[in-house]
Amino acid sequence: MSDRLTLLRPDDWHIHLRDGEALSHTVADASRQFARAIIMPNLVPPVRNAEEADAYRQRILAARPAGSRFDPLMVLYLTDATRPQDVRQAKASGFVHAAKLYPAGATTNSASGVTRIDNIFEVLETMAEVGLPLLVHGEVTLPEIDVFDREKHFIDEHLTRVVERFPTLKVVFEHITTRDAVQFVEAAPATVGATITAHHLLYNRNHMLVGGIRPHFYCLPILKRNVHQEALLDAATSGNPKFFLGTDSAPHAQHAKESACGCAGCYTAFAAIELYAEAFEQRGALDRLEPFASHFGADFYGLPRNTEQITLVREGWTVPSHLPFGERQVVPLRAGETLQWRLETGA
């Protein structure tokens, strides 16, 4: 068993960096390991057009540590009011790489999201035409649908239909959490891919709910039962290029998580590649980490692979109990516990 693991510098195809004071921390954490990241647009107000994406991109670039070449790949937030010309302008900008569908009310800051997918069919048509991928938070919001079943219902009621109707549209099913989603993506045409988070590979709902309720494991889509975790591990380590790395690192201040009504989201960007390495190693599949983390996402988006490398060393370290987050603090996933791998820096 080797104690060093060198791989092409990875990219994160789904991250929340937030805004304002938080950026100096979230951007530093992400850029330590990732060359590029797909930047989620669920700010308040959201990133709705190329102009807003440009302004947000400038704030991210300004927050990079000295010497960093971290490249934020911007995303539009689709609303009922998004127009085909917003898509054309975004594509023409060169720095917007996708548009995100949040069903209204499905997750954090999704109040401005799309109320009926059919409302944006003209926009999806334009995205297919100009080659702008659709990123999907795939959960229905119907109150009568159990929170553990919302991803499966989204596949059956919406995603199947969208993929059939727009055969040339690239679709990324974001942060998949179920065996149903794995099977859907496997069976779908090559235009459909999926991101998988480190926390959905490492944990299931028992980790969140047995022996006490642990708010730092609460995210959306919610952790599922262990058979789904197993299916995600199979998919991530399979070598199938449709499945690639997207952390969904989504920090919320400590007080907003440790609350009677806690926010959804896990902070993993501080050690994301180390967390993935742990999950892959549990499967004896460390050799499959590089394609998952550093090849398949770039290939799917039609971007060049990175050329630099990073090295992980097997060297246990204790995750801090909290990290700075603007004027507040965030409790990282695995706070106070040991991680097996450490990113070698300054090499």
Ligand X SMILES: NC(=O)N[C@@H](CC(=O)O)C(=O)O
Binding-site sequence positions for Zn(2+): 14, 16, 100, 137, 175, 248
Considering the complex, state which of residue 98 and residue 220 has its C-beta at the smaller distance from ligand X: 220
- Where are the alpha helices (H) located in 188-239, listed in sequence order? 198-202, 205-209, 226-236
Using Cβ positions, the residue closest to Zn ion within the complex turns out to be: 137
Angular region, 236: left φ>0, alpha ψ -120 to 50, beta rest: alpha
Please choose, from the candidates 76, 67, 72, the residue with its C-alpha nearest in 3D space to the C-alpha of residue 23.
72
Considering the complex, state which of residue 145 and residue 264 has its C-beta at the smaller distance from ligand X: 264
Least distance (Å) from Zn ion to the CB of residue 287? Answer: 28
Considering the complex, state which of residue 52 and residue 248 has its C-beta at the smaller distance from Zn ion: 248
- Which residues contribute to the site for ligand X (CB under 6 A)? 16, 42, 107-108, 137, 219-220, 248, 250, 264-265
Cα 200 to its chain centre, rounded Å, is 11
Residue whose token pair is 């997207």: 246
Least distance (Å) from Zn ion to the CB of residue 36? Answer: 16
What one-character-per-residue DSSP string does 133-149 give?
-EEE------TTS-GGG
Q: Among residues 11, 156, 248, 287, which one is catalytic?
A: 248
73 binds, among Zn ion, ligand X, none (CB under 5 to 8 A by kind): none
Q: At what angle do helices 23-33 and 50-62 cross, to 10 degrees?
A: 80
CA angle centred on 90, ends 85 and 94, rounded to 5°: 145
Considering the complex, state which of residue 193 and residue 291 has its C-beta at the smaller distance from ligand X: 193
Least distance (Å) from ligand X to the CB of residue 4? Answer: 32
Please choose, from the candidates 228, 274, 232, 272, the residue with its C-alpha nearest in 3D space to the C-alpha of residue 249.
272
Q: Annotated binding residues for substrate, as ranges? A: 16-18, 42, 137, 220, 252, 264
Least distance (Å) from Zn ion to the CB of residue 67? Answer: 28
Q: Annotated binding residues, as ranges? A: 14, 16-18, 42, 100, 137, 175, 220, 248, 252, 264
DSSP 37: E
42 binds, among ligand X, Zn ion, none (CB under 5 to 8 A by kind): ligand X
Q: Judge if the upstream peptide bond of residue 45 is cis by omega within 30 degrees of 0.
A: yes
Cβ pair 226, 148 in contact under 8 A: no
Least distance (Å) from ligand X to the CB of residue 218? Answer: 7
- Which residues contribute to the site for Zn ion (CB under 5 A)? 107, 137, 248
Length in residues, the chain: 347
Considering the complex, state which of residue 135 and residue 182 has its C-beta at the smaller distance from ligand X: 135
Alpha carbons 335 and 316: distance in angstroms, whole number: 14
Residue 248 annotated among the catalytic residues of the structure: yes
Tokens of 225: 């039962």
For residue 277, the number of C-alpha atoms closer than 13 Å in the C-beta half-sphere is: 24
Considering the complex, state which of residue 176 and residue 220 has its C-beta at the smaller distance from ligand X: 220
What one-character-per-residue DSSP string does 266-292 give?
B--GGGHHHHHHHHHHHTT-GGGHHII
One-letter identity of residue 99: A
Least distance (Å) from Zn ion to the CB of residue 30? Answer: 13
Tell me how far CA of residue 150 lies from CA of 205, 234, 252, 258, 264, in angstroms: 15, 22, 23, 24, 15
> Which residues are catalytic, by number?
248
